Structure 1
């Protein structure tokens, strides 16, 4: 009977070790992927600003995103595409209005779960890093703002 209990303990320990190893590998792969993605993003031209009233007005004037300008559209094609995009905007806005609150709720829940795992010091640093990242994304979406991405992220103690 004792061998069976010892064997069960060993199996449990191996399972925990495999789970931890999988977690560590996932973190490392995620970190490497993010580094590669960041490097590639730095090489790409900036994305056009997000859809908004400003963008819709530009579409009406025939100023389509660069992707369409590369197609050498006729003025009539550009007008038709601008109209299609403008007419489709209420549908996409309705979907976003419906989905964003649900997505935010899930994101908030995930943040709370992660925060429960971290020490107080780690949680404070994590909040600071996340806020810096959100500010950086906001600056990227707001063309014409000065200052680039802002200050570097807070140092890791």
Structure 2
């Protein structure tokens, strides 16, 4: 099971967090400080697995971001690396060569993509095409809602005249 997902920049800024296990807010802050310190100081030639508090943290650096997942100690590290890569590929497909700014300004879409991929700390959907189709459907619904709210606003403005 995946306990949490973190995206951390090389400067130590947290760009995305998703918690699947219960952690108090104080504990979450402590985890973020501790793990960012551990991961950012590791050399590039060291393995991408860290044993931490009886769990395993699997991470992979893509450009300026570290994608980290904390899993049970007995979980397969390579499968977790594949899930990370799968998430990055879907982000790349959606944003067209995803970068840190895409995640900063469109964090809600990044969370939606992650929610389509993982549910309750387990892989929900392994098909990139299915995830892309679901995201496109969500975007279509959002656009329709924006258009309808715009037309309702225009009707209210005209009625108020």
Q: TM-score range by the shorter chain?
A: under 0.3
Which one has the bigger helix percentage? 1
Higher relative contact order (CA 8 A, sep 6+): 2
TM-score, normalised to structure 2's length?
Answer: 0.27
Rg comparison, structure with higher value: 1
